[in-house]
């Protein structure tokens, strides 16, 4: 029997049994069979979602990774059509030597094409290019035993509902995306540390619009005057240089340790050292694209360091009008609780609309950070939820394992349109939790 599948946070503990098709033509029978035998199913990409949105209510999923063939590429126009199980890393391996890069990439290259569309993922250039869905030219959607071609002009209702549609409208079998041209695979970045949240907002206002990419790392344990201190990074594709695919060997966490290796002591030491290691004056750095976009991908299965109980990520976005005040409150509460992890990421999102019905970003500031799963986490999350709610913000379903149905339905009023278009044979633990 194949190994059980989990979400990236390994929480909630709902192991999934995978059912794979070798060929696209086999998918209609497989979908019908699995959903009939187990009452429901769900497409599963590469399990890089943290919470329960990639977990089927029946605990039987359609494993899409085996559908990993390229269908058509056009290096004049920079378009790629591929099966939905192809990963972003596989696309980059092909596209970079030809002088093309993903228009939008999340912080992992191990997401699949189907998964990136279904969560309408965003990256460090949201302020310039919006979400992944904006660069999707079209895709095939299997539902009712037929594959529907969907684009902005063909079956547009299914196109909009499937982008950010959490795998509920059907199975994406293939997709075509638009890439952006690059001259080199390196990234030129400017790095500077900042002392508090106010400085983050002024750096962001000054620098974001001048650079393709912008992101900040935050020390979530800093308190008082130092709340929100961190390291600000902006970057652009280099104007000259080689077009090299990064092929450095990856490290691996081979086993799940019996206890989480992340605790307050290790966290405090890491955050302190990291912040001090960065320059107080702006510094120019040239690096490969992997360390810039995907620092965590270097360590395969790093999620295991959180031990058998796993972890949750909390990602919210707060509208511009309330962002600074609400972020101060949120970061203050996290620091007071002494919880949180190495990975607090702060980023301003822009106002480019997504074609997706249930897309997460809105014009404002997004915060994402990981928390080891333990008692006492839920009360903290509920406290943070109240701040997010009052500030008019929302949480990201791709990362979520706790949001209340009331909060979800208020924050995503288009959920009923998605529910109306949901393929009844597909359902996730997330969707059941927030809509029933």
Ligand X SMILES: Cc1cc2nc3c(=O)[nH]c(=O)nc-3n(C[C@H](O)[C@H](O)[C@H](O)COP(=O)(O)OP(=O)(O)OC[C@H]3O[C@@H](n4cnc5c(N)ncnc54)[C@H](O)[C@@H]3O)c2cc1C
Q: Rule CB under 6 A: choose which of 10, 19, 48, 129 binds ligand X.
A: 48
**Shortest distance, position 263 Cβ to ligand X, whole Å:** 21
Pick the closer one to ligand X by CB: 65 or 227. Answer: 65
Q: Does 106 bind ligand X (CB under 6 A)?
A: yes
Pick the closer one to ligand X by CB: 179 or 317. Answer: 317
CA–centroid distance for 143 within its chain: 25
Q: How many residues does the chain have?
A: 436
Residues β-bridged to residue 150 = 139
Q: Does 112 bind ligand X (CB under 6 A)?
A: yes
DSSP 294: -
Q: Does 42 bind ligand X (CB under 6 A)?
A: yes
Q: Rule CB under 6 A: choose which of 11, 44, 201, 371 binds ligand X.
A: 44
Q: Does 372 bind ligand X (CB under 6 A)?
A: no
Using CB under 6 A, which of the segments 29-37, 151-159, 163-171, 206-214 binds ligand X?
163-171
Helices 377-390 and 320-337: crossing angle in degrees, nearest 10, is 160
Q: Does 167 bind ligand X (CB under 6 A)?
A: yes
Give per-residue burial for 7-16: e unless 16+ CB within 10 Å, then b: bbbbbbebeb
**Shortest distance, position 49 Cβ to ligand X, whole Å:** 3
Q: Rule CB under 6 A: choose which of 27, 84, 187, 238 binds ligand X.
A: 84
The footprint of ligand X on residues 184-243 (CB under 6 A) is: none
Pick the closer one to ligand X by CB: 212 or 329. Answer: 212
Q: Does 43 bind ligand X (CB under 6 A)?
A: yes
Pick the closer one to ligand X by CB: 46 or 227. Answer: 46
**Shortest distance, position 76 Cβ to ligand X, whole Å:** 27
d(CA 142, CA 149): 9
H/E run at residue 273: helix 264-277
Structure tokens at 396: 């990201």
Half-sphere exposure of 365 (CA within 13 A, CB side): 28
d(CA 389, CA 407): 7
Give me the 248-287 binding string for ligand X, x by CB under 6 A, dash otherwise. Answer: ----------------------------------------
* Phi, psi (deg, nearest 5) at residue 138: 175, 165
- Residue 2's Cβ-count burial label (10 Å; 0-12, 13-18, 19+) is exposed
Contact 434, 174 (CB under 8 A): no
CA geometry: angle 254, 256, 261, nearest 5 deg: 110
Q: Does 53 bind ligand X (CB under 6 A)?
A: yes
Q: Rule CB under 6 A: choose which of 122, 143, 193, 211 binds ligand X.
A: 122
Q: Which residue, among 27, 52, 56, has the nearest Cα to 41 in the 3D structure?
A: 56
Structure tokens at 153: 């002009």
User: Which residues of the shown chain bind ligand X in the complex (CB under 6 A)?
Assistant: 8, 42-49, 53-54, 64, 84, 106-108, 111-112, 114-116, 118-119, 121-123, 166-167, 171-172, 296, 398
């Amino acid at each position: 029997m194949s190994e059980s599948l989990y979400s990236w946070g390994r929480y909630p503990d709902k192991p999934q049994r995978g059912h794979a098709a070798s060929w696209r033509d086999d998918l209609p029978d497989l979908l019908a069979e699995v959903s009939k035998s187990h009452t429901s199913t769900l497409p599963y990409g590469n399990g890089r979602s943290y919470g329960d949105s990639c977990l089927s209510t029946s605990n039987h999923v359609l494993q899409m990774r085996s559908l990993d063939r390229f269908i058509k590429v056009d290096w004049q126009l920079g378009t790629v059509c591929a099966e939905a199980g192809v990963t972003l890393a596989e696309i980059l391996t092909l596209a970079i030597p030809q002088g093309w890069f993903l228009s939008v990439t999340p912080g992992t290259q191990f997401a699949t094409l189907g998964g990136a569309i279904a969560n309408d993922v965003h990256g460090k250039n949201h302020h310039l290019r919006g979400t992944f869905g904006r660069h999707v030219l079209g895709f095939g959607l299997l539902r009712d035993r037929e594959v529907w071609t969907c684009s902005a002009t063909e079956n547009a209702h299914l196109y909009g509902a499937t982008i950010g549609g959490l795998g509920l409208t059907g199975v994406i079998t293939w997709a075509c995306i638009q890439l952006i041209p690059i001259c080199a695979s390196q990234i030129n970045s400017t790095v500077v540390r900042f002392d508090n949240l106010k400085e983050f907002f002024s750096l962001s206002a000054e620098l974001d619009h001048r650079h393709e990419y912008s992101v900040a790392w935050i020390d979530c344990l800093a308190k008082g005057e130092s709340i929100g201190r961190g390291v600000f990074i902006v970057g652009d594709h280099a104007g000259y240089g080689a077009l090299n695919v990064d092929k450095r060997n990856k490290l691996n966490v081979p086993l799940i340790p019996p206890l989480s290796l992340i605790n307050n002591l290790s966290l405090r030491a890491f955050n302190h050292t990291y912040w001090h290691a960065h320059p107080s004056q702006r510094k120019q750095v040239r690096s490969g694209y992997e360390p810039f976009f995907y620092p965590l991908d270097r360590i395969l299965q790093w999620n295991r360091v959180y031990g058998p109980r796993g972890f949750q990520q909390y990602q919210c976005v707060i509208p511009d009008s309330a962002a600074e005040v609400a972020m101060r409150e949120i970061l203050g509460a996290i620091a007071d609780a002494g919880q949180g992890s190495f990975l607090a990421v702060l980023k301003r999102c822009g106002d480019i609309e997504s074609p997706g019905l249930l897309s997460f970003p809105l014009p404002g500031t997004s915060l994402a950070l990981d928390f080891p799963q333990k008692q006492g986490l839920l009360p903290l999350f509920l406290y943070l939820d109240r701040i997010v709610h009052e500030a008019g913000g929302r949480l990201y379903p791709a990362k979520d394992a706790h949001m209340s149905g009331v909060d979800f339905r208020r924050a995503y009023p288009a959920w009923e349109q998605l529910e109306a278009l949901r393929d009844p044979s597909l359902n996730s633990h997330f969707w059941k939790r927030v809509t029933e």
